[in-house]
Structure 1
């Protein structure tokens, strides 16, 4: 698979699409639109690509800003697409299920789809118009991207969100949306991946997660939706609620502490020894929940959010046990910083599958 050209690479869905491409080992070439649009740069990104994915859009602002922004972005992309020597065989538009409801946003997305479709079909490219419902996922922008982001941010900050307009939502995890847009999941599978929940029901789920996770415990994540929703919630708790402090009991016989309390779903525990100066990890997960706990020795656990440079470090020891939960889409590693052998416990919420490991190499 050749490289993928992507608009909206720095946005919420763009972040998730880039994470999916990183797992697939496919290069992502961003295409800037709007005031930063440059035709030559856009053509260089689109030319020879295996897929052009147009995500960028305007969903907040005045009616004129929403109408003009969405059509302008699509026109810019279409203009560059028509000029490349080697157009992509597939062009994908991240549309909305709101299309057809009569709103300015819906009409603008419909017009943008038509603009891009005409350009793609004139070049013989296959055009996919993917209508996405309410998206939720890690690192969404509170009070902007989705109500899930707002609720999660408020709960993680100790605030009390309320429901003003209780209605049924159709929800899709951003990682699933990325897989559909990139061709990793068939479009007809979208309905099976969607979840319907009321706004009040969504808040109730997130409140339960917040209460359980505040105790350092893992809620019931047996259902895929609950796992994805919990991963979304806990992305707003990092680094404020990290590490999870564990209670160590010691007497003349030795010491004892609990590593994990999980309220439901399968899981796998493992254990390692690491000699001084050596690191383990340097990978990330898209969906897996993983906990590191040092049992004996001294270590530094390092984490970095994908596509950023800031590294968070936590010094942990077996004498004062603490657990560090790895946020999804953060590369992480553990390094033995002591002079003795490091003993570490690892727990994940799923049983390791070598055919689908969800463990992607990425240096911290």
Structure 2
């Protein structure tokens, strides 16, 4: 078997949704193991297009679903119909793909969304049993993370959006919520793809339990300290890190950066505080000669600040999977910084005629064995 043939071909229905986007992008970090088969929403409208997609896949992760609609009946019918159409295509094409289905911890609740997910899981499990296919039915708790849609994917997405856009979040029901961070869920899905085992009812455990009011209290703290004051807050737990990285992705980045430092000058020169920390990390500086560009990489977990203190720089950011490039012009005469959101590839270029001096801070010391640094041109 050649190297190329050994790639697992993976298709994701709902590829452009919250979980789908993260899974698609993360699979792209393993080009020697996985090949991604692109999926378009309208494939479900054409049996020929759906069959063509299914035929190409060794693995299909079925995420496409409706979460919100004014009619519960429409949600129910849509989700069951999508599962039926996929099962019919799998049967028509005599597919032997490993199908992974994302169901919900709401399966056991008395609502039509939960019922639709349970029935969808049963439809695809039945296909696998009758046709010698492999099936994993994942029962997933509440998911949060960067780029979730406010008022749709999770209350955390709604809170983050409101706090960074001049609105005040309100709590409808201050219950305890079982949560999993999107990176943790994606890792679990990829582990299941690698194992290739049939598991009709795989309950994916939550990784934290939080009261809604406690989450809002943390986010209000991030807003006051970080969004308004530029301070990296104290982050004690994995949940804190994940919540903070989620919060950072809801800024109107283009209008937020660059943030001007407060510069204190006297006859001796100038003093500028670059970063105030509730956590540690690694601080470094670089000099860059005119015309040179550094960076062109992104991180999936690291928190990073670029501070220009001398010379002229262009800092560019682009969210992975999109084409829009954000340009920030910084000048050491007015020292300023830009923080790098996760999943944004970034670079810095000396556009002046003198050496550029930049201070870099990152929240963890560099580890070559786990660098969380992926190269991609902005």
Instruction: Note whether the superposition's TM-score is higher than 0.5.
Output: yes
Displacement, 1:97? 0.7
Q: 1:17 aligns with which of 23, 27, 43?
A: 23
Alignment-derived partner of residue 293 in structure 1: 307
1:70 aligns with 2:84: no
Displacement, 1:24? 2.2
CA distance in 2, matches of 1:48, 1:36: 16
| SS across alignment from 1:98 | helix
Structure 1 range deviating more: 19-28 or 90-99 = 19-28
Q: TM-score, normalised by structure 1?
A: 0.92
Q: After superposition, give the CA deviation of every residue in 1:230-257 in whole Å (9 maximum; x if it has no partner).
A: 1111111131322222112233333221
Alignment-derived partner of residue 146 in structure 1: 154
Assess, with a 3 A threshold, how the Cα gap between structure 1 residues 44 and 347 changes in structure 2: closer, same or farther: farther
Displacement, 1:271? 2.0
Displacement, 1:309? 1.3
Assess, with a 3 A threshold, how the Cα gap between structure 1 residues 72 and 293 changes in structure 2: closer, same or farther: same
How many residue pairs match? The answer is: 361
State whether residues 288 and 350 of structure 2, in contact with CA within 8 Å, keep that contact through their aligned partners in structure 1: yes
Q: 1:203 aligns with which of 206, 209, 216?
A: 216
State whether residues 43 and 49 of structure 2, in contact with CA within 8 Å, keep that contact through their aligned partners in structure 1: no
Assess, with a 3 A threshold, how the Cα gap between structure 1 residues 85 and 343 changes in structure 2: closer, same or farther: farther
Alignment-derived partner of residue 169 in structure 1: 177
Q: After superposition, give the CA deviation of every residue in 1:247-285 in whole Å (9 maximum; x if it has no partner).
A: 122333332212111112x41122222222121111111
Matches within 5 A, 1:44-193: 44-61=52-69, 62-84=71-93, 87-88=96-97, 90-183=98-191, 190-191=204-205
Assess, with a 3 A threshold, how the Cα gap between structure 1 residues 154 and 115 changes in structure 2: closer, same or farther: same
Q: After superposition, give the CA deviation of every residue in 1:28-70 in whole Å (9 maximum; x if it has no partner).
A: 2233456853333333333343421111111112122111111
| Structure 1 unpaired stretches of 5+ | none
Matches within 5 A, 1:206-217: 206-213=219-226, 214-217=228-231
CA distance in 1, matches of 2:251, 2:118: 37
Assess, with a 3 A threshold, how the Cα gap between structure 1 residues 152 and 248 changes in structure 2: closer, same or farther: same
- How big is the alpha-carbon RMSD for the aligned residues of Structure 1 and Structure 2? 2.2
State whether residues 288 and 355 of structure 2, in contact with CA within 8 Å, keep that contact through their aligned partners in structure 1: yes
| SS across alignment from 2:252 | coil
CA distance in 2, matches of 1:317, 1:336: 10
State whether residues 48 and 87 of structure 1, in contact with CA within 8 Å, keep that contact through their aligned partners in structure 2: no
| Structure 2 unpaired stretches of 5+ | 1-6
